[in-house]
Amino acid sequence: MGQRAAIYCRVSTADQSCERQERDLTSFAVRARYDVAGIFKETGSGAKLDRAERKKIMALAQARQIDAVLVTELSRWGRSTIDLLNTLRALASWNVSVIATNGITFDLSSPYGRMLTTFLAGIAEFERDLISERVKSGLAAAKARGKKLGRQTGQRPKSDRLAAKVLALVAEGRSYRWIARDLGISKNTVADIVKRSKPVESGQPLPNQVWRDTDGKGPMNWQ
């Protein structure tokens, strides 16, 4: 059996097709005598973070089920120089190469591959510096315009977003502990949401609420 390769195709928009990439990569695999372990196709911009098909290939590489990743060009694989460098290093640790049909092969075990990695690392550091500089510049400009940055006092974006769901689950009789675990928040956050939903002046329960120990450990809460 020859070396196993995963074919990866990506287009940026839904009106584009992976057909040409798939055809070229399949022909390349035949000529190079690779056994194709799978063809993975997805649509998304280079900056898109959630690239499920690429994650599947990384999982195959980690499981030592492939020896190479075939792409038409490196821009199809990496979102940025930093991302490309990080994924190449991860693949190299599993002895998997990235091979582009334009002739570029990233095999980090070879002198050529290590040289390219050094070159990419320099570009990646330059990109990080540029991003940092742009962020600092943007923050300074926002402050100069009088814009307040960061979360302000009294703002609770996550708990406010989940408040309706929390109160609905409380109304169903769910315990604070169960709600916190189900929604991925703390029990104290659940309690705060319920507390804020109570009438402030009278201190009386809302309609259809009862005074109940919700999780068997107190304190008693309106439900």
Q: Is the pLDDT of residue 221 over 70?
A: no
Summarize the confidence of residues 203-217 as an average pLDDT: 47
State both tokens at 151: 């979360």
What SS3 class is residue 220? strand
Confidence band for 200, pLDDT divided at 50, 70 and 90: very low
Residue 12 is a catalytic residue = yes
What's the Cα-to-Cα distance from 79 to each of 4, 7, 12, 143, 209, rounded to whole Å?
A: 24, 17, 11, 31, 52
Statement: residue 60 has pLDDT above 80: yes
| pLDDT tens string 25-44 | 999 999 989 999 999 999 87
Q: What is the pLDDT of residues 157-172, one digit of tens each?
A: 666 778 888 888 888 8
Amino acid making up residue 133 = E
Query: What average pLDDT does the segment 38-55 reach?
Result: 80
Report percent pLDDT > 90 for the chain: 22
Residue tagged active-site, from 12, 75, 159, 197 = 12
Q: What is the pLDDT of residues 113-162, one digit of tens each?
A: 666 666 666 665 655 666 667 777 777 777 777 776 655 545 566 667 78
Residue range 9-34: mean pLDDT, rounded: 90
3-state secondary structure of 78: coil
With beta carbons less than 8 A apart as the criterion, state whether 182 and 175 touch: no
